[in-house]
Each structure stands twice: as structure tokens, then as C-alpha cells.
Amino acid sequence: MQEIRAKVLSCEPLAAGLIRIILHAPEIAAQAKAGQFIHMLVPDHAHVLRRPISLMAFDKEAGTLTLAIQPKGSGTQIICAMKPGDEITCLGPLGTGFDGAGAQTIYFVGGGVGVAPICGAMDAYATETSHAFFGFRGAQYAYGMTQAPCAVSAVSDDGTLGEKALVTKPLLEKIGEKRPDLIMACGPTPMLAAVQKIALEQGIPCQLSLEERMGCAIGACLGCNVKIVAEDGSWTYQRVCKDGPVFDAKVVDMHG
């Protein structure tokens, strides 16, 4: 983990309501793993809290990080308005990443902005027998499919991209054809809960990347706690920023 001044190489639309930013941050890129994130300091004097942004891609040789950011609040709007040549203070890489070691067939599940970290996981772990399942609100919100390293099935809420269905529908159909060794997922909480249910019922190992509001992003403020359940039914809390954002589906309580 390092704090650096990263240079903006590009900042342009990726899909409706989504901006792709490429940073030159060799110190962070050299240490990055799929599923990790960085904490970005809004380049003004009004925003004290940083913004956690997942890594969509990273290139260790080029020293670059690729991010997909929704300009929803004033802080992310300022970040997404940056120009090539601007600099921004970043802390990272942070958190645990995905781990696909030993898995020959992985099914990747992403929804909305959660597709971004799944793209990074695909780059790291996809094989010829892997498959990705993406869910978007509509075709104008879609991204991450054209250069995917494995086959992709996409669905949408309005039917303008693929079938009008939940992303779990093609996932279940594919599982019926071939069981994967592992599922990796990131997206809205209801989607993660549904994927978790499928994985647990079918006995398939599954890793879930959670999204939570964060204060410090280094485990000190305890503002991003998530409920963790043990086999005996007892429970505790862990920090999404430090202990996650990737958790084993067997232990994280998606309803807590």
C-alpha cells in the first residue's frame, strides 16, 4: 500500500452514466491484484473523505490503472471531470482480491458498476472453459464485453441487451450444463444474495466482492463492517475495506 500522486492519462465516457479513467500509477500497479481497490482524494479542499474505486484493470509493465466510475455525488463528479495531465492523490492497492488458484473453470457474475472488478478478475483467471454473466439496466449501460477473455452472456432489465431477465437465469442454465470450480461475483446486494444462494445450494465455491461506504479504507474507522457467520451459528463483524472486499460466500451474511 502506497500513497502517490497519480497522473490522469485519459478520462472519457465508458457507457451511460459511467466514466473510464486511466491513471499512470506504477507504484500501485506493480502491487495490484484483481479485486482490490484504491482510495482517491477528491482534488479540492471541500471533500475530506476519499472515494473507494475498484480496479477494472491494471498493467504492471505500463504502470497503469483503469477505473470505471459513476459520477453520482459531488466528489465523484469532480474526479470524473479531470483532464489528461491532471494529478490526483491515491492510496492503494487496498483490500483482499479474488483468488482463482487451482480453479480450471470459473463463472464470473457482474451487475452494473460491479462488472468493473469482474473484468479484472477475468483478466487474471479466465480460462477457455470459463464464462461470464453480466446484467445491465439496458444496452446503453453495457461495457466490458468486447475484449473479454472468455465467453460472455449478457441480460438487461429492459430487454434491449440479450434476454430480459435477472443475471442468475443464464448462470443457472450454464451450471446445469457444466458445474464450475468457482464463482466470482460483484454487483448490487440483491444480486450477490441471489448468487450466494445458488452457490450454497449447489455446493459451488463462491467469492463475493462487496461494496460499502468507507471512511478510512484501512480498517481503522470500522465504518464498513459486514456480518460474518460461523459454522456454529455465532457471528462477528469484519471490515469490507481491510478483510474484504472479497469474502467467501459461505461466511458473509448478505441479509445482515
Looking up residue 52, the CATH number of its domain turns out to be: 2.40.30.10
**Structurally, how many domains does the chain consist of?**
2
Residues 105 and 198 in one domain: yes
Residues 156 and 78 in one domain: no
Say how far apart CA 60 and CA 73 lie, in whole Å.
30
How far is residue 210 CA from its own chain's centroid? 8
88 and 8 Cβ atoms separated by less than 8 Å: yes
Residues 37 and 130 in one domain: no
Say how far apart CA 81 and CA 21 lie, in whole Å.
10
The contacts of residue 40 (CB under 8 Å, 6+ apart) are 50, 51, 52, 53, 79, 88, 89, 90
The residue segments making up the domain with residue 195 are 101-178+190-202
**Does 83 reside within a domain?**
yes
Domain boundary among 43, 72, 94: 94
Mean pLDDT, contiguous 10-residue spans, the chain (256 residues)? 95 97 98 96 83 96 97 94 97 96 96 97 97 98 93 97 97 97 96 97 97 72 82 85 92 83
Per-residue model confidence (pLDDT) at position 47: 79
Per-residue model confidence (pLDDT) at position 186: 97
pTM equals 0.95
Domain boundary among 48, 71, 94: 94
**Does 233 reside within a domain?**
no
The contacts of residue 12 (CB under 8 Å, 6+ apart) are 19, 20
Q: What CA dihedral angle connects 107, 109, 115 and 118, to 10 degrees?
A: -40
Domain boundary among 70, 94, 118: 94
Per-residue model confidence (pLDDT) at position 256: 59
Residues 12 and 86 in one domain: yes
